[in-house]
Amino acid sequence: MIQYKINELFETIQGEGSFTGQPSIFIRLQGCPVACSWCDTKHTWDIVLSDEITQDVMLTKSQETSQWAAMTAEQILALVKEKGFQAKHIVITGGEPCIVDLIPLCEAFELLNYSTQVETSGTFDIKVSGKCWVTVSPKINMRGGYPILDSAMLRANEIKYPIATEQHVDDLKTLLKKHDMDNTVIYLQPISQKKRATELAIATCIANNWRLSVQVHKYLGIE
Ligand code: SF4
């Protein structure tokens, strides 16, 4: 049985992409080798065995740490119920969640009529249920050296692409040209809410009929 390494489990409002505004339960998994320079969850990168903590300690974290609790899908489901979370949408994020098989986790929740979503960099095989909504946020030419997989682009229900420069836009267009993405929604997301990045994202969205994703939770000051 898979033991998922849970860095955080919390209920909030999804602030990005197609599910913006949706009450959601976030399951943040520990571990990511992709190494984006502007990553805002660098504490999730390393899996250090001595960082293992109990689920109770994980739930009461008051700051971002690299500590994680090992839990099966059933234990995560039981904890969600015990906490009395009301949201019916599960967001599996990281770190890079697709370094592990997420099918049992998706299916455990879907059996109880939760919807599921995964947020991934597109650099690992996406092992999720058929119903799971897949958000691929392609991380092109990052320090970890992982290419974007064709299979990830094909599975994507939406592309959510962080941008700050014209080069980022060009990289995305080059990637999209390689795939038939006609039925996939494309979001641009300004990196770190910077003014220049936001202006570039707005202009590029209008020019290409793409959508803007602005990380609503950051403007609201919520997790
Ligand atoms: S893939 Fe995500 S978690 Fe990993 S380094 Fe990039 S932004 Fe951070």
Q: What is the pLDDT along the chain (223 residues), one digit of tens a residue?
A: 999 999 999 999 999 999 999 999 999 999 999 999 889 899 999 999 999 999 999 999 999 999 999 999 999 999 999 999 999 999 999 999 999 999 999 999 999 999 999 999 999 999 999 999 999 999 998 999 999 999 999 999 999 999 999 999 999 999 999 988 878 899 999 998 889 999 999 999 999 999 999 888 887 777 7
Which pair of tokens denotes residue 69? 């609790």
Minimal CA–CA distance to 211: which of 43, 18, 29? 18
- Around ligand 1, the residues with Cβ closer than 6 Å are 32, 34-36, 39, 41, 44, 94-96, 121, 139
* Overall pTM > 0.85: yes
Tell me what pLDDT residue 98 has.
98
For ligand 1, atom 3: residue with the closest CA: 95
Provide the CA 47 distance to its chain's centre, in angstroms: 18
Distance 116 CA to ligand 1 centre (A): 20
Tell me what pLDDT residue 70 has.
98
Q: Where are the beta strands (DSSP E) in 84-223?
A: 89-93, 115-120, 133-136, 158-163, 185-190, 211-212
For ligand 1, atom 7: residue with the closest CA: 39
Residue 60's φ and ψ, nearest 5 degrees, are -105, 15
Tell me what pLDDT residue 55 has.
95
**3-state SS of the chain: helix, strand, coil percent to 5?**
35, 25, 45
CA distance 113 to 137: 26
Closest ligand 1 atom, CA of 142? Answer: 6
Distance 129 CA to ligand 1 centre (A): 22
Tell me what pLDDT residue 175 has.
94
Q: By the 8 A CB rule, do 87 and 104 touch? A: no
Tell me what pLDDT residue 215 has.
82
Residue 31 vs residues 4, 6, 7, 75: alpha-carbon distances, Å: 10, 10, 9, 20
Q: Which among 16, 26, 27, 34 is the best mutation to test ligand 1's pocket, defined by most ligand atoms within 8 Å of the CB?
A: 34
Closest ligand 1 atom, CA of 94? Answer: 3
CA distance 91 to 36: 21
